[in-house]
Amino acid sequence: MKLAGLFPGKNILCIAEIGINHNGDCDMAERMVRAAALAGAHMVKFQTYVPELMYSPYTTSLLASGREGDADFSQIEFFRRFVLAKEDYVRLRDVARECGVEFFSSAFDEPSVDLLEEVGVRLYKVASSEVGNLRLLSRVARTSKPVIMSTGICTEDEIARALDLVRAEGCPDIALLHCVSNYPLDAAHANLRRISQLAERFGAPVGFSDHSSGTDLVGAAVALGARIFEKHFVHDPGYECPDRNVSVAPAEFAAMRQAADNALAALGDGRIAMGDSEKEVALSARRSLCAGRDIPAGKRLEAADVVPLRPGVGMPVNRCAGMLGRVSRRLIPKGHLIREEDFEEGICE
């Protein structure tokens, strides 16, 4: 299954990043899936991990001094609160299918990939924190399923190495998301030009995982080539959860999707030509060659005989020089169009 095949005919893909915002409550997670579907999401994404395989018990001391001190399981215990069971994922997968959205998840370790394979996801997300985790990448790639990979805290070389590995291991269908791992992201640090650079450098579809507190960056991201948008999601703006400060509620998510669709439509095809939608205006606003005074039959046309007037339904004004010197066949009243058939054939003097 190809990424494009998951959503035939759609130019913009919008991902509701539920992540761990469900607070470990499957009922709440289901509520969020249904709300995301109603808000126009094409996909709903979760985060799947084993807490003990994510953080060292010495994380606190290692961050403080670079050395192991007393064991501290607070990070592990914090993330344990948000773990969902396999049966929860099966339930959420079925709800997503019922709602017409694609269910998938970010896998943070190999056992989590095994779990998601049992659940039957059709694609995977790789967080930017895991782009250097080659064992995990290899396990994901061996599923031969499409991968959406964030690139926030990665170097160019790390992205290239990850893509080479995933493609070599059997997964050629990869999309890259630009993101900046600030929570929330200030517009001054958004670096949206990286979107077009990712597409040019790696030849992959690109998108934007938006960690800003709103949706103001969507239009610019579309203009720079983003076609996949990932945004943290909550069912209610007052709901307390880990990523609340970078999450949007259904109304804002729906507005984001509409803004992305509008921006894509506004880009057009880039042709330097009049658009079909302008033709009626052009007829009214452009000018035609008209008689500036009565032109009797047999008169050799001169500049004073001609005036450019609206509407533009007749001979274009830029043909004026070519008509001068032609002899009129009949009386052309003032204000009438200058028509080719009203003049003798022949070379103008």
Q: Are 236 and 282 within one domain?
A: no
93 found inside a domain: yes
Last residue of a domain, one of 267, 299, 314: 267
Q: Give the β-pairing of 102-107 and 124-126.
A: parallel
pLDDT of the residue at 349: 45
The per-residue DSSP string of 54-106 comes to T--TTHHHHHHHSS--S---HHHHHHHTT---HHHHHHHHHHHHHHT-EEEEE
158, 19: one domain: yes
Range of the domain at 317: 276-342
End-of-domain residue from the set 267, 291, 326: 267
Does residue 349 form part of some domain? Answer: no
**CA-to-CA distance for 163 and 171, rounded, in angstroms?**
9
> Both 170 and 312 in a single domain?
no
Element (H, E) at 232: strand 228-233
Q: How far apart are CA 48 and CA 83, in angstroms?
A: 7
Coil, helix or strand at residue 345: coil
Q: Could you tell me what percentage of the chain is helix, strand and coil, using 3-state DSSP and rounding each to the nearest 5?
A: 40, 15, 40
The enclosing domain of 308 has a CATH number of 3.90.1210.10
Question: For 262-287, how does the pLDDT look when each residue is reduced to its tens digit (9 = 90+)?
Answer: 999 999 989 998 888 899 999 999 99
Taking each continuous run of H as one helix and of E as one strand, the counts in the chain are 13, 11
pTM of the model: 0.87
Per-residue pLDDT, 7: 67
Do 213 and 318 lie in one domain? The reply is no
In this structure, the answer to whether residues 128 and 170 fall within a common structural domain is yes
Mean pLDDT by 10 residues, the chain (349 residues): 72 96 98 98 98 94 94 94 98 98 98 98 97 97 97 95 95 94 92 97 96 93 97 95 94 96 94 89 95 97 97 96 96 97 76
Same domain, 188 and 73: yes
Give the number of domains in the chain: 2
Q: Do 228 and 252 belong together in one domain?
A: yes
296, 155: one domain? no
> What local confidence, expressed as pLDDT, does residue 1 receive?
57
pLDDT at 254: 97
Which pLDDT belongs to residue 256? 96
Distance CA(17)–CA(241), nearest Å, equals 13
Residue 150 forms beta bridges with which residues? 177
List the structure tokens of 242. 């880990």
